[in-house]
Amino acid sequence: MYWNGIAVNRAELKSNFMVAAALADRPNVEVNAERQTSFDDFVSVFAAAKSAGLEVSAAGIE
User: What is the reported pLDDT for 33?
Assistant: 87
Distance CA 50, CA 17 (A): 9
Nearest to 17 by CA among 43, 54, 44, 47: 54
Q: How many domains does the chain have?
A: 1
Distance CA 23, CA 42 (A): 24
Distance CA 28, CA 46 (A): 12
38: containing domain: 2-61
Which has the higher per-residue pLDDT, 62 or 38?
A: 38
User: What is the reported pLDDT for 62?
Assistant: 65
Q: Residues 13-54: pLDDT tens digits?
A: 999 999 999 999 998 999 888 889 999 999 999 999 999 999
pLDDT beyond 90 at 59: no
What is the DSSP-derived secondary structure letter of residue 27? P
